[in-house]
Each structure stands twice: as structure tokens, then as C-alpha cells.
């Protein structure tokens, strides 16, 4: 890297002064910021850069940037020699973010911006941003955990499907009609389990990428609740186990009916599976829209766990499940512009409450 050899104290103060003119301090930035002048000497090294690199700002200021920030790529090559910001092509505007190493093997994510006097002119400022790798590692661990969970959840039903279909194909004539029906019903149930898991994964992908589509139309939440209660009683639950209370008049609710069914199905099934006693569903008007509260009479959720209820893979008990349902519920509610909370009911059981906005957005009412 070919650079000049002198830098005045005034130049070192130039970057902080420029930030002061904008009413901000470089040390307020969450990411590391390193700025070098036209001579290649560091004139700004904020506190985040010092924290991320474990280098002292005082040692870096005024020094040549390739000495103050000795970066290497993963193959051990000097990054400043490879990129040559001051002596390379004058048409370049910067370097995309990449994983680089500091002395001692410390990893850091680095990107650079070349500020020129004119599009192909000499470099006036070299702006380098630094980020730690902790966030990326957390994301990688989350992805690895998701893959492991999916593999585990898929293995059991697919093993069952494979086993029963292979048995039926090999020994079809040996089984009675009732035995065949039982095996096929098991295969159907396991196939449904796989389908639901795939649907959950697609929902997570859409939520994480901000692509979850909400097709709004008028929804009667009280009717939707009644429909889910009827489905649960038809599947063997006692009608006496449910108490539905509706406070009318309810405000208009514009929402995606399929997504609302997903929310209610998850919350009611959780209350039945993990709770005890009566499951109470309250539908009532709220200053921000319509509130739906689902409360059971079980042991409830420990206080120390409530902050993690809506995170991925949280399970309230050891009774199975992927631990993705409440994460998806929260994403759906928030996609509607609503909120969802968890707490403890009057009887000590779990209480989930979500609130949906009062009316359709402007583009639906025009």
C-alpha cells in the first residue's frame, strides 16, 4: 500500500470534528469505525473499533492504517496489500464485507468505502467499518439447531411411513382389512405431521425475511374461536372443558382468516395439551382493537421462562412438539400490526393475550 508519510494533529482531529458538525460522536456508533486520511494515516478510531479489535485507539491514531489495523485474509495474506486502496484502480469505490483476521487469530467482519475527490480521482478518505463475529455465530448456531430439530422431527414419522408401507407392500395378503386400515391411518397421520412441519419451516422463512403475506378481510373472531372449540370437542375433548366469553359489541377486525386460524389453533391446542382444568377464551374490545385471551388452569409458565416463550425451540413441557409454534404465532400477530403477551392467569395457569388492530388499513378502505 503506497501512502504519504506525514499527518498533522489537525488532520487527526478532522474526522471527530466532522461528526460533531452533524451533532453526533463516532463513539456513539454501534459498529467499529476507522477512517484514514489521504496520506493513509488513521484520523478516527472509535470505541467500538477498539472493543472489537482489542486494540488501543491511542496507539492507532496517527499511525499508518496497515500498521494500526494489520488485517489478513483466511489464507494468511495481507489484506491491505491485496486491496491496495491508495495505489490500485481509481475506479474502485470500496470493498464488500468479508471475514478477516487480526494478529492472534481474532476474527472480524470488515468492509471499506473509498471516498475520492471525484469519481476517478485520488483517495481523500478511507472509511473502514468493523463488526464482531458474535452475531453471525449466533445465527449459524440457530441455523444448526434448526436443522438438527427438523432432522429429529422428520426421522420419526418418515421411519413410520417407510416401515408400514414396506410391510404392506411385502405382506399385503397376510393382513386383514382392519389391520390394513390401521396401518394406512398411521401413515396418513405421520404424513400430516411432516406436512405441518414443512409448513412451519416455510412460515419461519417468511417471518425471518419479512415476506409473510397477510391477506386482510373482515374476520369475526368470536365465530373463529367457536369453530376451533367445536373442532376440539369433535376430536374427543369434553365441551365442559371450554368457557368462551364474548364482550360485545366488538370492533371491526380486518385480518387474514387462515392466519387467525393458525394463531387460535396453536394457542388452544397448547392450552389443552400443557394446561389443566378449564380453558377460558375471552374475546373483548380493546382501545387498540380486539383482544383475545386464552387462559388455562395448569401449572403455568415459570417466571424465568416467560422471556423465552416466543423464541425458537422453546418447549413448555416434554410432551413433544417442535418448539416453533409460538415463535410463528408471534410473527403472524406482529405481521398484522398487533401484539401478543404471556403471563399468569388468576388460577395460576398460563395466559396468552393477543390484540389485533381495530380496522382495515387505508389502502383497503379506499
Q: Distance between CA 37 and CA 20 in Å, rounded?
A: 18
Give the model's pLDDT for residue 332: 94
Single residue among 209, 233, 267 that ends a domain in this structure: 209
| Residue 222 and residue 325 share a domain | yes
Tell me the β-bridge partners of 244: 281
Q: Distance between CA 8 and CA 41 in Å, rounded?
A: 10
Tell me the β-bridge partners of 123: 116
Q: Is residue 4 part of a domain?
A: no
pLDDT tens digits, one per residue of 33-85: 999 999 999 999 999 999 988 888 889 999 999 999 999 988 889 999 999 99
| Residue 349 and residue 281 share a domain | yes
Give the model's pLDDT for residue 74: 84
Q: Distance between CA 340 and CA 280 in Å, rounded?
A: 17
| Residue 120 and residue 47 share a domain | yes
Contacts of 60 (CB under 8 A, 6+ apart): 34, 42, 45, 49, 68, 69
**DSSP summary character for residue 67:** H
Kindly report the CATH number assigned to the domain that includes residue 33: 3.30.450.20
| Residue 350 and residue 235 share a domain | yes
Tell me the pairing of strands 339-344 and 254-255.
Answer: unpaired
The number of helices, as runs of H, and strands, as runs of E, in the chain is: 12, 12
Give the model's pLDDT for residue 4: 42
Kindly report the CATH number assigned to the domain that includes residue 225: 3.30.565.10
The region, left, alpha or beta by phi > 0 then psi within -120 to 50, assigned to residue 337 is left
| Residue 140 and residue 122 share a domain | no
Give the model's pLDDT for residue 360: 56
**DSSP summary character for residue 41:** B
Tell me the pairing of strands 217-218 and 242-246.
Answer: unpaired
Q: Distance between CA 131 and CA 107 in Å, rounded?
A: 9
| Residue 324 and residue 286 share a domain | yes
Tell me the β-bridge partners of 274: none
| Residue 242 and residue 141 share a domain | no
Single residue among 164, 181, 209 that ends a domain in this structure: 209
Domain of residue 49 covers 9-132
HSE at residue 94, side-chain half, CA atoms within 13 A, is 14
Give the model's pLDDT for residue 17: 55
Single residue among 176, 193, 209 that ends a domain in this structure: 209
Domain count along the chain:
3
pTM score: 0.59
Q: pLDDT tens track of the chain, all 366 residues?
A: 444 444 444 444 555 555 655 556 888 888 899 999 999 999 999 999 999 888 888 899 999 999 999 999 888 899 999 999 998 888 899 999 998 998 888 889 999 999 998 888 899 999 999 988 776 777 677 777 777 777 877 888 889 899 999 999 999 999 999 999 999 999 998 888 888 888 888 888 888 778 888 899 999 999 999 999 999 998 889 999 999 999 999 998 999 999 999 999 999 998 998 888 899 999 999 998 999 999 999 888 888 888 888 887 776 655 556 678 899 999 999 999 999 999 998 888 899 999 998 755 554 544
| Residue 195 and residue 330 share a domain | no
Amino acid at each position: 500500500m503506497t501512502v504519504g508519510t506525514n499527518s498533522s494533529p489537525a488532520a487527526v482531529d478532522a474526522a471527530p470534528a466532522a461528526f460533531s458538525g452533524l451533532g453526533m460522536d463516532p463513539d456513539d456508533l454501534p459498529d467499529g469505525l476507522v477512517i484514514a486520511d489521504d496520506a493513509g494515516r488513521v484520523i478516527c478510531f472509535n470505541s467500538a473499533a477498539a472493543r472489537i479489535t482489542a486494540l488501543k485507539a491511542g496507539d492507532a491514531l496517527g499511525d499508518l492504517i496497515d500498521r494500526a489495523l494489520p488485517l489478513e485474509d483466511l489464507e494468511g495474506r495481507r489484506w491491505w496489500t491485496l486491496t491496495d486502496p491508495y495505489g490500485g484502480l481509481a475506479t474502485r469505490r470500496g470493498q464488500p464485507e468479508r471475514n478477516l483476521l487480526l494478529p492472534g487469530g481474532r476474527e472480524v467482519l470488515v468492509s471499506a468505502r473509498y471516498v475520492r475527490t471525484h469519481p476517478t480521482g485520488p483517495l481523500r478518505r478511507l472509511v473502514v467499518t468493523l463488526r464482531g463475529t458474535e452475531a453471525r455465530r449466533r445465527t449459524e448456531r440457530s441455523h444448526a439447531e434448526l436443522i438438527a430439530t427438523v432432522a429429529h422431527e422428520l426421522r420419526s414419522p418418515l421411519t413410520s411411513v417407510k416401515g408400514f408401507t414396506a410391510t404392506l407392500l411385502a405382506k399385503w395378503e397376510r393382513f386383514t382389512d382392519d389391520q390394513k386400515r390401521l396401518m394406512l391411518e398411521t401413515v396418513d397421520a405421520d404424513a400430516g405431521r411432516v406436512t405441518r412441519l414443512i409448513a412451519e419451516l416455510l412460515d419461519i422463512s417468511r417471518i425471518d425475511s419479512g415476506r409473510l403475506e397477510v391477506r386482510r378481510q373482515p374476520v369475526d373472531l368470536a365465530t373463529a374461536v367457536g369453530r376451533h372449540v367445536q373442532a376440539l370437542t369433535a376430536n374427543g375433548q369434553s365441551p365442559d372443558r371450554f368457557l368462551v366469553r364474548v364482550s360485545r359489541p366488538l370492533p371491526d377486525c380486518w385480518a387474514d382468516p387462515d392466519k387467525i386460524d393458525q394463531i387460535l389453533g396453536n394457542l388452544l391446542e397448547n392450552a389443552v395439551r400443557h394446561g389443566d382444568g378449564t380453558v377460558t377464551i375471552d374475546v373483548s374490545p380493546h382501545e387498540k382493537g380486539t383482544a383475545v385471551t386464552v387462559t388455562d388452569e395448569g401449572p403455568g409458565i415459570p417466571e424465568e421462562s416467560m422471556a423465552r416463550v416466543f423464541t425458537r425451540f422453546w418447549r413448555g413441557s416434554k410432551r413433544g412438539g417442535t418448539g416453533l409454534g409460538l415463535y410463528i404465532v408471534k410473527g403472524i400477530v406482529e405481521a398484522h400490526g398487533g401484539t401478543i403477551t404471556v403471563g399468569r392467569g388468576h388460577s395460576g395457569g398460563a395466559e396468552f393475550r393477543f390484540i389485533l388492530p381495530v380496522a382495515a388499513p387505508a389502502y383497503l378502505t379506499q
